[in-house]
Amino acid sequence: MTTGAVDSCVEWARSHGSVIDDRVEFRADPNQGTYAVANARISEGSVLVTIPRKLLITTTLAEKHFRLKNPVESNPNALLQLFLSKLKFSSKSCDEISFFQPFMDVLPLIRDIHSPYFWSSEELTALKGTDLLIKTERNLKKVIEEWFGLITKAKAADDEDTAFYLQSSSNPHFQVSDHMTYSKSSSWHSFSSYLWSAYIVSSRAFPELILENENLKNINQAFLYPIVDFLNHHSGQKVQWQLNKDRNGVSFSSGNQIEKGQEIFNNYGDKSNEELLLNYGFAIQNNMNDSSTLTLRLPPGQLESLKSYDLTLRDQNLAENSVNFLLTLGSPLPMPLMKLFGILSKLTSEKFITARSVLDGSEQLNAIIEQKLSFFKDASKLKVSLKSPIRSKSTKAYMAGQKRIFQEASDFIKKFQKKVLKELKPLSFKSLFKSDKTFVNTLTLTFGVTKYDDLVTKNFLQQALLLWIVRAHNLSSRRAENLALPQFILDCFEDVKSCIVIEKDDVHEYLAFYKSIFPQLSMKIPEVYGKGDWSIKNFIIAGTVIDRLVWKLPASQEAFFFERRPYDLSS
Ligand SMILES: C[S@@+](CC[C@H](N)C(=O)[O-])C[C@H]1O[C@@H](n2cnc3c(N)ncnc32)[C@H](O)[C@@H]1O
Query: How does pLDDT run across 403-455, given as a tens digit for each residue?
Result: 999 999 999 999 999 999 999 999 999 999 998 899 999 988 888 888 899 99
**Listed residues 389, 405, 423: the one ending a domain:** 423
Question: At residue 29, does pLDDT exceed 90?
Answer: no
Report if residue 394 sits inside a domain: yes
More confident residue, 225 or 173: 225
Compute the average pLDDT of residues 276-288: 97
Q: Helix 273-280 vs helix 389-424: angle between axes, to the nearest 10 degrees?
A: 160
Whether 281 is in the pocket of ligand 1, judged by its Cβ within 6 Å, is yes
Compute the average pLDDT of residues 112-139: 93
Q: How far is the CA of 205 from the centre of ligand 1 (A)?
A: 12
Structure confidence by residue, pLDDT tens digits, 302-315: 877 777 777 777 76
More confident residue, 126 or 182: 126
Pick the range with the lowest mean pLDDT from 24-33, 78-87, 152-161, 553-562.
Answer: 24-33
**Integer CA distances (angstroms), 355 to 347, 414, 526, in order:** 12, 15, 38
Report if residue 489 sits inside a domain: yes
Q: How far is the CA of 382 from the centre of ligand 1 (A)?
A: 26
Compute the average pLDDT of residues 299-304: 80
Report if residue 270 sits inside a domain: no
Ligand 1 atom closest to Cα of 35? 6
Structure confidence by residue, pLDDT tens digits, 502-517: 888 889 999 999 999 8
The answer to whether residues 416 and 442 belong to one domain is no
The answer to whether residues 112 and 193 belong to one domain is yes
The answer to whether residues 259 and 310 belong to one domain is no
Q: How far is the CA of 271 from the centre of ligand 1 (A)?
A: 14
The answer to whether residues 198 and 255 belong to one domain is yes
To 5 degrees, how large is the angle CA 72–CA 76–CA 82? 70
Ligand 1, atom 8, residue with closest C-alpha = 33
Q: How far is the CA of 265 from the centre of ligand 1 (A)?
A: 10
Report if residue 199 sits inside a domain: yes
Report if residue 138 sits inside a domain: yes
* 3 state SS of 27: strand
Pick the range with the lowest mean pLDDT from 162-171, 179-188, 282-291, 430-439.
Answer: 179-188
Ligand 1, atom 21, residue with closest C-alpha = 282
Question: At residue 550, does pLDDT exceed 60?
Answer: yes
Question: At residue 481, does pLDDT exceed 90?
Answer: no
Whether 223 is in the pocket of ligand 1, judged by its Cβ within 6 Å, is no
Whether 532 is in the pocket of ligand 1, judged by its Cβ within 6 Å, is no
Query: What is the percent of the chain with per-residue pLDDT over 70, rounded to a whole number?
Result: 96
The helix (H) or strand (E) run that includes residue 264 is: strand 263-264
Question: At residue 372, does pLDDT exceed 90?
Answer: yes
The answer to whether residues 145 and 245 belong to one domain is yes
Whether 554 is in the pocket of ligand 1, judged by its Cβ within 6 Å, is no
* Contact (CB, 8 A) for 490 and 541: no
Whether 391 is in the pocket of ligand 1, judged by its Cβ within 6 Å, is no
The answer to whether residues 257 and 296 belong to one domain is no
Give residue 184's pLDDT: 61
Ligand 1 atom closest to Cα of 32? 6
Whether 280 is in the pocket of ligand 1, judged by its Cβ within 6 Å, is yes
Structure confidence by residue, pLDDT tens digits, 243-256: 999 889 999 999 99
Task: Label residue 216 by pLDDT band (50, 70, 90).
Answer: confident
Number of domains in the chain: 3
Q: How far is the CA of 230 from the centre of ligand 1 (A)?
A: 8
The answer to whether residues 202 and 60 belong to one domain is yes
> What whole-number distance in Å separates Cα of residue 36 and Cα of residue 19?
15
The answer to whether residues 342 and 450 belong to one domain is no
Question: At residue 518, does pLDDT exceed 80?
Answer: yes
Mutate to test the pocket of ligand 1, among 32, 275, 278 (most ligand atoms within 8 A of CB): 32
Whether 375 is in the pocket of ligand 1, judged by its Cβ within 6 Å, is no
Report if residue 275 sits inside a domain: no
Mutate to test the pocket of ligand 1, among 233, 264, 265, 398 (most ligand atoms within 8 A of CB): 233
**Integer CA distances (angstroms), 379 to 127, 234, 277, 314, 396, in order:** 9, 27, 17, 29, 8
The answer to whether residues 72 and 209 belong to one domain is yes
Q: How far is the CA of 389 from the centre of ligand 1 (A)?
A: 16
The answer to whether residues 233 and 127 belong to one domain is yes
**Listed residues 405, 423, 441: the one ending a domain:** 423
Q: How far is the CA of 417 from the centre of ligand 1 (A)?
A: 43
Q: How far is the CA of 77 from the centre of ligand 1 (A)?
A: 20
Task: Dihedral sign for Cα 22, 23, 26, 27, please.
Answer: positive
Instruction: Return mean pLDDT, the chain.
Output: 91
Q: How far is the CA of 34 from the centre of ligand 1 (A)?
A: 8
Give residue 306's pLDDT: 79
Q: Which domain holds residue 551?
A: 428-561
Question: At residue 522, does pLDDT exceed 80?
Answer: yes
Please return the burial class of 86, using the count of CB atoms within 10 Å of its CB with bins 0-12, 13-18 and 19+.
Answer: buried
Whether 282 is in the pocket of ligand 1, judged by its Cβ within 6 Å, is yes
- Per-residue DSSP letters for 415-436? HHHHHHHHHH-PEEHHHHHHH-
To 5 degrees, how large is the angle CA 209–CA 109–CA 48? 45
The answer to whether residues 346 and 407 belong to one domain is yes
Whether 203 is in the pocket of ligand 1, judged by its Cβ within 6 Å, is yes
Report if residue 463 sits inside a domain: yes
Report if residue 491 sits inside a domain: yes
**Listed residues 264, 293, 328: the one ending a domain:** 264
Query: What is the percent of the chain with per-residue pLDDT over 90, rounded to a whole number?
Result: 70
CATH of the domain at 318: 3.90.1420.10
More confident residue, 213 or 97: 97
The answer to whether residues 11 and 139 belong to one domain is yes
Please return the burial class of 569, using the count of CB atoms within 10 Å of its CB with bins 0-12, 13-18 and 19+.
Answer: middle
Give residue 383's pLDDT: 65
More confident residue, 307 or 543: 543
Ligand 1, atom 26, residue with closest C-alpha = 280
- 8-14's contacts with Cβ under 8 Å and 24+ in sequence apart are 8/102, 8/105, 9/102, 9/103, 9/105, 9/106, 9/226, 9/227, 10/227, 11/102, 12/102, 12/103, 13/51, 13/55, 13/226, 13/227
Ligand 1 atom closest to Cα of 115? 27
Residue 543 β-bridge partners: none
Name the residue among 465, 448, 457, 455 with its Cα closest to residue 546: 465
> What whole-number distance in Å separates Cα of residue 470 and Cα of residue 442?
14
Sequence-ordered strand ranges (E) for 10-140: 19-20, 24-29, 33-38, 47-52
Give residue 430's pLDDT: 94
Compute the average pLDDT of residues 484-492: 89
CATH of the domain at 190: 3.90.1410.10
